[in-house]
Structure 1
Amino acid sequence: MNASRLWRLGLTGGIGSGKSTVAGMLAARGAAVMDADAISRSVTAPGGLAIAPIAQAFGAAMIGADGAMDRQAMRALIFKDPNAKRQLEAIIHPLVSLITAEQVQAALHSGSRCLVFDVPLLVESGDRWRRQVDQVLVVDCDTDTQRQRVMARNGLALDEIDRIIALQARREQRLAYADVVIFNQSLSLIELEVQVTQVAADFGL
């Protein structure tokens, strides 16, 4: 690959895959990371740009006492009503795109040569993100490992983790979508960093 050019790298992986850890390692090597999930959380935080439209679309019950979107209540609604997911995405996605574009311009202004778009649902979005990136990097592991990591990290019940996994693309779909794969099954942090370093070198990092 031409490491001297500007690269736009899409980064994704299932819950518990280690995608965020990989994003942090790429950032430490000089990549500008646009974290779609963090942006999404910011617009649904107290005072966030999505709060008023969410209250209007779903009712005040979806806004917690702290003024943030009640993520647990919204998750429960989405599990029951697929249309609710589409409504929520119609509110949040344009805001995430707007803020992402602002972050990209800031990164380019600072001279970044590798832009990493950390998008948990990149594969699920079809061509929306594929058209915006040069390569897709998938961080992969098996489903049992996902469950174990999320239980240890978040303390969620197994049935709730399985519901989240079911809403995401299948592992086979992500792998078929990938240009580059990091198999983060039983790697230590040092071993994972070796793999990230090898991948990063192809993108000028």
Structure 2
Amino acid sequence: MTYRLGLTGSIGMGKSTTAAMFAAAGLPVWDADTAVHRLYAAGGLAVTPIREICPEATASGNVSRETLKRSIADDPSLLAKLEAITHPLVAADRAAFLAQTSTDIAVLDIPLLFEKSSQHEFHATLLVTAPPDLQRQRVLQRPGMTEQHFQTLLSRQMPDAQKRSLATHIVETLDLFATEAYVKSLIAHIRARHA
């Protein structure tokens, strides 16, 4: 049986970098955001149902995330409809990944793991975190990011302190070398306890 480690963290905490460290260590990593990109791309399973609820967000056979974001800002009720389409498709993509995985540990990178109360689907969870000032600095360095959009994203996420209380493991991403050492140590710990 594959040990399922749920990886999560708020925007700007270093989650993607940490996920890449697990991949570099040889573990298969499934990424929820990448799955959504596949679903929204031309031929993706979410394109047709999204066209039905938000035609302006689909063009050239794919979903424009920017247009979708603006449409949700104009009509917040659209978010629940979008989630009703996307979440089951993402869950099916994750299940297919796990069905094809034969390694001892798989990492599943899920930004809203605790917000959607999905932690019980995993053997353990790892919260990737950083101090608020570092988080803000990292996020505002991203192309096209504004303070307002950052605050909107934060408002949709559970506070870090609450996530800490739910997580099995926690890593602060202050230093790349320390984070990488933590990742290797955690892999060894899981293998030692669940071999």
Taking structure 2 as the reference length, the TM-score comes to: 0.91
Give the counterpart of 2:110 among 110, 115, 119.
Answer: 119
Q: Deviations over 1:99-146 (max 9, x none)?
A: 1111111112xxx000111100101101xx222101110001123222
Say which SS state the counterpart of residue 124 (structure 1) adopts.
Answer: coil
Aligned to 2:172: 183
Aligned to 1:106: 100
Alignment of 1:96-175 (within 5 A): 96-108=90-102, 112-126=103-117, 129-175=118-164
**In structure 2, C-alpha distance between the alignment counterparts of 1:81 and 1:153, rounded to whole Å:** 26
**For residue 182 of structure 2, what is the amino acid of its counterpart?**
Q
Give structure 2 stretches of 5+ with no counterpart: none
Query: How far apart are the structure 2 equivalents of 1:90 and 1:124?
Result: 15
Q: In the alignment, is the contact (CA less than 8 A) between 1:140 and 1:182 conserved in 2? A: yes
The CA distance in 1 between the partners of 2:181 and 2:149, in whole Å, is: 33
**Counterpart residue number, 1:9:** 5
Tell me, yes or no, if the aligned pair for 1:31 and 1:116 is still in contact at 8 Å. Answer: yes
Q: Which residue of 1 aligns with 2:63?
A: 69
SS, match of residue 131 in structure 1: helix
Deviation at 1:155, TM superposition (A): 3.6
- Aligned residue type for 2:48: A
Find the aligned partners of 1:76 and 1:177 in 2 and give their Cα distance.
32
**Counterpart residue number, 2:190:** 203
Q: Which residue of 2 aligns with 1:49?
A: 45
Q: Aligned equivalents of 2:61 and 2:12: distance in 1?
A: 28
User: How many residues get paired?
Assistant: 192
State whether structure 2 residue 24 is matched by structure 1 residue 23.
no
Equivalent residues of 1:34, 1:116 under 8 A apart: yes
* Greater shift in the superposed pair: 43-52 or 190-199: 190-199
Q: Which runs of 4+ in 1 moved over 6 A?
A: none
Structure 1 residue 164: Cα displacement: 1.0
Query: Using a 3 Å threshold, how does the CA distance of structure 1 residues 169 and 80 change in structure 2: closer, same or farther?
Result: farther
Residues 34-69 of structure 1, C-alpha deviations (whole Å, 9 max, x = no match) = 1111101110112211000001022x21113x4321
Judged with a 3 Å threshold, the aligned counterparts in structure 2 of structure 1 residues 134 and 48 are, in CA distance, closer, same or farther, namely same
Alignment root-mean-square deviation, CA: 1.7
Secondary structure of 1:204's counterpart equals helix
| Residue of 89, 95, 100 corresponding to 2:83 | 89
Structure 1 residue matching 2:62: 3-state secondary structure: coil
